[in-house]
Amino acid sequence: MRPVDRGSCPIDEGGVPKKFHPYTKAQKDIINRLGEYCSYCERPLSNVAIEHLLPKKWYPSCQEKWNNFLPTCLNCNTNKRWSMEKRWKFKEGESLPSEKTVLALYYWPDRDNTASIFKYGEGGIIEINLSLNPSQKLKAQITLDLTKLERYDGNDEDPPPVTDRRSQKRREAWNIAKQQLDDLNNKNITTKSVIQLAKAIGFWSVWMTVFQEDSEMLKLLIDAFPGTRKDCFDDLGHPVPLQENPPKPIENPSLRQESRYTIADVLPRSQEPSLLDWLEASGRLMSREDRESEYAIDEEEIAALMSVEDTTYDDDGDELVEED
Ligand SMILES: [Zn+2]
């Protein structure tokens, strides 16, 4: 799954971040940033649907947020909605899981190095990357289940419905990419023509897999598809493993760093002693009785001072004048 960066919210002619009301107005900007490809199955799109990472029905405040948009095909969009509603059992009137909880369960093409989570094989079959650690494999499997990308023609146990032609198109792309690889090796075609065909056929991950021994082609493919995240790949164009792509360290030492790839624990309650205990233990807490006699003396002196004739400052100057 191609990792992408949609960038910050586009700016309008007045220099302020655009408002997407209704959200379908984001279609042109999303295409400009990420191209006309489904963010999950990677097929080319003739009619881009704006997909909401957090479902708009359950998180209406995210309905028009730029960082909640991705382009998708109808099959991926529909399967994701069904899958999420089945898993989370969203119900009217019940409290929803937090946005953070929902987002943390899956790998997302705009948030994670999704080039590392799956392996594409002969015929365009998608499997979990076996080099992931157990918790990453589980999360990758949940991500695969989200859009049902693992369904493929010829799988008797879980064949796709007739309306879902994603695996069929992926297999066709695989066969075309293999033929292009042979032709390129035989010098019958140029890298430029391969890239042009890859952009037309789509299925970026299929092309990246078929041409995985050719670093020049990998880098051309990364550049050719708009919005592909370059920091997810090494100098040879191979995906950086998930564990080697950690978040940047936080410079403020008083803050605690949590990995973005694991679900954070609930913050423990502080076990520090109370301020009162600390004052008492360190001898800084003094009883009220010891201080009262001192205050009494002070009050007498203050009373004596107060008996002096009233004086005030003149508003217009510094001279001390007597009131009438
Ligand atoms: Zn799709």
Distance 43 CA to ligand 1 centre (A): 6
List phi, psi (to 5°) of 239. Answer: -60, 135
Spacing, Cα 39 to ligand 1 middle (Å)? 7
Tell me whether the omega of the peptide bond preceding residue 22 falls within 30 degrees of 0, making it cis: yes
Maximum Cα interatomic distance, the chain, rounded to a whole number of Å: 113
Q: How far is the CA of 275 from the centre of ligand 1 (A)?
A: 58
Helix axes 215-224, 191-201, angle to 10 degrees: 50
Residue 101 pLDDT > 50, yes or no? yes
210, 219, 242, 218: which is closest to 121 by C-alpha? 210
Residues 143, 315: Cα–Cα separation, whole Å:
75
The CA 44 to ligand 1 mean position distance, Å, reads 9
Distance 110 CA to ligand 1 centre (A): 15
pLDDT in tens, 173-232: 999 999 999 999 999 999 999 999 999 999 999 999 999 999 999 999 999 999 999 999
67-83: pLDDT as tens digits? 999 999 999 999 999 99
Question: pLDDT band at 154, cuts 50/70/90?
Answer: confident
CA of 45 to the centre of ligand 1 (A): 9
CA separation (Å) from 143 to 4, 22, 58, 112? 16, 28, 19, 12
Of 36, 24, 40, give the one whose Cα is nearest residue 80: 40
